Amino acid sequence: MPQPDSRIPTPLPAWFLAIALAALAWGGVWFAAAEAGVQIDDSFSRFNRERIASFESRASANGARRVILLGSSALKYATRDEQAFAAGVSGAAKMPVEALRISSNWGTFYDFAPLAADIRRARPDVVVMESEFLAADRPPSRRFLLWVAHLRSQLGLDDAAAEDDAKVQFGYPCWARKVQRDHEKLLEVRSDWVTVRPDGPGPRSTREFAEELLGDGVEVAFVSIPRRPDYDVEARNTRMIANDGESGRALAGRVRHWQPEPLPAGLYCDLTHVTPDGQARYSDWLESSIANALPRPPS
């Protein structure tokens, strides 16, 4: 004779409650990651936190002025590697200078926010950021997916295929690439990672960070990075949006805004990255601009 089932069925309202709590939890995660801007402390943060500490140590040992540059891969391509860039600024300013450049692929301030306190502790004299930081942000869905992927990795559910952090900072694949993305393909890929959202958590964090630096007595500059002429309209529109609105205008009069002369199309290896010759021309201009912004020792 079959035994009667002694299990007590879960009341239907309990299932509804469980589903509601799960939905509430995921809704909270969405809000924290996509809207409130809760950040992930990932390998990018850890790798560059060590670089910031090393930069601070070198500057202290040399009694050097401290320059930090933050931007996308476009900034990386447009500026000489740190030692050569520091030498250029030092030669123009007639004083010792240490430089640190931190770049992120499809860069928005999303990647740099976890490093803000570390950068402030390094006591920079000048911080230069890419102008697009004031308007560009990770799309909310991308922020959420990155948070979920990081959580799964922390729980051991996924093996995160992390980027090579050193290659992100110091590699120049565009100079060796034989086939480049066309305009439409670039915009398609870019839209997965970057959106124009001047009131999003990334631009908000950028403005807050700039205010904190100004309060520390740091010179803050937002610099335009050149784009090939047939793509520059998108970057120019983003920069214009960045300075619209009350919050943008309030900050605009307290920071420096640097705009280089356009570069010829022949000095680009693709729509957003310059060639070595383009890097030399842009670096000369930016090194001089930074040298003029450095505080002078008392006479």
Domains in the chain, CATH or no CATH each:
40-293 (3.40.50.1110)
CA dihedral for 30, 31, 35, 40, sign (positive or negative): negative
Please give the pLDDT value at position 122: 98
Q: How far is CA 140 from CA 113, 147, 222, in A?
A: 16, 11, 24
Q: How far is CA 233 from CA 2, 275, 284, in A?
A: 77, 20, 24
Please give the pLDDT value at position 200: 85
Q: What angle do CA 268, 273, 274 make, to 5 degrees?
A: 45
Q: Does the pTM exceed 0.95? A: no
Please give the pLDDT value at position 228: 85
Q: What is the mean pLDDT of each run of 10 residues along the chain (299 residues)?
A: 54 58 53 54 88 97 97 94 97 97 87 94 97 84 63 58 78 80 68 76 92 97 88 68 67 90 91 93 98 83
Please give the pLDDT value at position 286: 98
Containing 257, the helix (H) or strand (E) segment is strand 256-258
